[in-house]
Amino acid sequence: MTERAVEILRAILFHTPKNPFRESHPLVGFEDGALAIEHGRIVRCGDYAEVSSAYPAAAVRDLRGRFILPGFVDTHVHYPQVRILGGLGLTLLDWLEELALPEEARLADANYAATIAREFVGALAAHGTTTALIFGSHFAAATTALFETAAKRGLRVASGLVLSDRMLRPELHRSPDAAHRDSCELIARYHNRGRLHYAVMPRFAVSASEAMLEVCGSLLCAHPGVRFTTHINEHPEEVDKAARLFPWAKDYLAIYERYGLVGERSVLAHNIHASEDEIRRLGAWRASIAHCPTSNAALGSGIFPMGRHVAAGVRCALGTDVGGGTGFGIMKEALAAYLMQRVAPQPMILAPATMLYLATRAGAEALGMEDEIGDFTAGKSADFVILDPPAGGALEVRLKRAGTLDQVLAALFTLAGAESVREVRVEGDVVFEREPLSGPSRWPGPSRLRASS
């Protein structure tokens, strides 16, 4: 009887339940695949014939010729920066002063913040991002607007009040006491409310006094399960500034370590200019890095030493870093990671499976959500993206020639933009729909793909 509640989606399916940096054969792909979901959970993922015979009474949605991937996870993105995308030609500190901080100050106006929150959350969903660790605003009301808008849309979000008490501009500064009070209120209101989670987030060490970092540490101690995020080792000028402000610290990471801010629930953005010892300690802490390749290139910050991080066992995931980055697409970010690692001083080739892992399960692991999301293992939440390449576009043309599932996935990561995202679901709920998928199937006929090597 319960089978009637089961929905089967028939499509080309990919997911990466294994970590490609540690295990072989990480890619699971089904050319004629099916995802069976019930009450927002995945009950089965596999070949259509096998899944449909397990649930013969289930409603089947025929999406053959289209693609289903796990929902994308963006581990570093700034909500107040949606309107300053495309500010090219500046380096980090000038970009902050000239573009980012003036715009962030505008969110003091709660009406403006509500508009920005809608634009931002809409853009995340439209790009297939189902879960995000979001840098909030320096203003509590604006941060509230983000949580409320994300809840309304149904996205899975960790965010919080951005904490700074120096070096920015006066209207963005809060005293450590006020920061503590506002953060406690927001935690009480939003942490673990439905799909919302709280993260403590000093902007970076440069804009946080020792007293503010102490507040961050005490918030984390008092509220287990709350995440931590900030920036680290992004640009040489910023690293120098941090060293001058914290002369006792042997390196950048030591500043955050001193206040108990580094651990399994910490996601540190960038870490480009890191010493070997910092990378080793990050691995020992089981902390994660949000790698933001388009931002790193656009702001001239540098090339992320991914190989050194992977060798030290540091967990890496992807962030768009809107608006330092170049857009909301996590698939584009995965492609940029591939491109930059290809030309890194110690180059590495990211296989299509690794790109998919970075875009999905790696983010889930960074956020401690790997038991809930990140792949299509039965029991997990039904968070997924349906991709439908526009008819006649370069991607569709390319896919006609793809000979293996690996080639299909590589083509998707190379060519699929927001225009290919047709439907996005979180826990089975539709959070974005481009237009109802009612057209004729583009199923190309019997199998033409070889099994991936």
Binding site for ligand GUN (CB under 6 A): 78, 92, 96, 100, 203-204, 231, 234, 295, 321, 324
Q: Report residue 414: phi and psi, to 5°.
A: -80, -35
Phi-psi domain of 25 (left: phi exceeds 0; alpha: psi -120 through 50; beta: other): left
Contacted entry of ligand GUN, Zn ion, none for residue 69, CB cut-off 5 to 8 Å set by kind: none
Contacted entry of ligand GUN, Zn ion, none for residue 100, CB cut-off 5 to 8 Å set by kind: ligand GUN
In whole angstroms, how close is the CB of 129 to ligand GUN at the nearest point? 18
What is the 8-class DSSP label of residue 8? E
Q: For residues 366 and 408, which CB has a smaller minimum distance to ligand GUN in the complex?
A: 366
Q: Which tokens hold the place of 17?
A: 């339940």
Phi-psi domain of 132 (left: phi exceeds 0; alpha: psi -120 through 50; beta: other): beta
Residue with the shortest CB distance to Zn ion: 321
Q: Which tokens hold the place of 361?
A: 């399960």
User: What is the binding site for Zn ion (CB under 5 A)?
Assistant: 321
Amino acid identity, residue 233?
N
What is the 8-class DSSP label of residue 389? P
In whole angstroms, how close is the CB of 399 to ligand GUN at the nearest point? 34
Render the burial of 385-397: b for 16+ CB within 10 Å, e for the rest.
bbbbbeeeeebbe
Q: Which tokens hold the place of 106?
A: 């505008």
Non-local CB neighbours of 242 within 8 Å, separated by 6+ positions: 204, 205, 206, 249, 252, 255
Contacted entry of Zn ion, ligand GUN, none for residue 203, CB cut-off 5 to 8 Å set by kind: ligand GUN
In whole angstroms, how close is the CB of 204 to ligand GUN at the nearest point? 4
Contacts 24+ apart (CB under 8 A), 83-87: 83/116, 83/119, 83/323, 84/323, 85/322, 85/323, 85/325, 85/326, 85/327, 86/323, 86/326, 87/323
In whole angstroms, how close is the CB of 117 to ligand GUN at the nearest point? 17
Q: For residues 270 and 315, which CB has a smaller minimum distance to ligand GUN in the complex?
A: 270
Q: For residues 204 and 228, which CB has a smaller minimum distance to ligand GUN in the complex?
A: 204
Residue with the shortest CB distance to ligand GUN: 324
Q: For residues 74 and 427, which CB has a smaller minimum distance to Zn ion in the complex?
A: 74
Q: How far apart are CA 45 and CA 9, in angstroms?
A: 10
Share of the chain residues as helix, strand and coil, in percent rounded to the nearest 5: 40, 25, 35
Q: Report residue 251: phi and psi, to 5°.
A: -160, 180
Torsion on CA atoms 437, 441, 447, 450, rounded to nearest 10: -40
Q: For residues 295 and 420, which CB has a smaller minimum distance to ligand GUN in the complex?
A: 295
In whole angstroms, how close is the CB of 323 to ligand GUN at the nearest point? 8
Q: For residues 234 and 383, which CB has a smaller minimum distance to ligand GUN in the complex?
A: 234
Q: For residues 10 and 174, which CB has a smaller minimum distance to ligand GUN in the complex?
A: 174
In whole angstroms, how close is the CB of 324 to ligand GUN at the nearest point? 4
Q: For residues 295 and 326, which CB has a smaller minimum distance to ligand GUN in the complex?
A: 295
Q: How far apart are CA 76 and CA 136, in angstroms?
A: 11
Contacted entry of ligand GUN, Zn ion, none for residue 176, CB cut-off 5 to 8 Å set by kind: none
In whole angstroms, how close is the CB of 7 to Zn ion at the nearest point? 37
In whole angstroms, how close is the CB of 269 to ligand GUN at the nearest point? 7
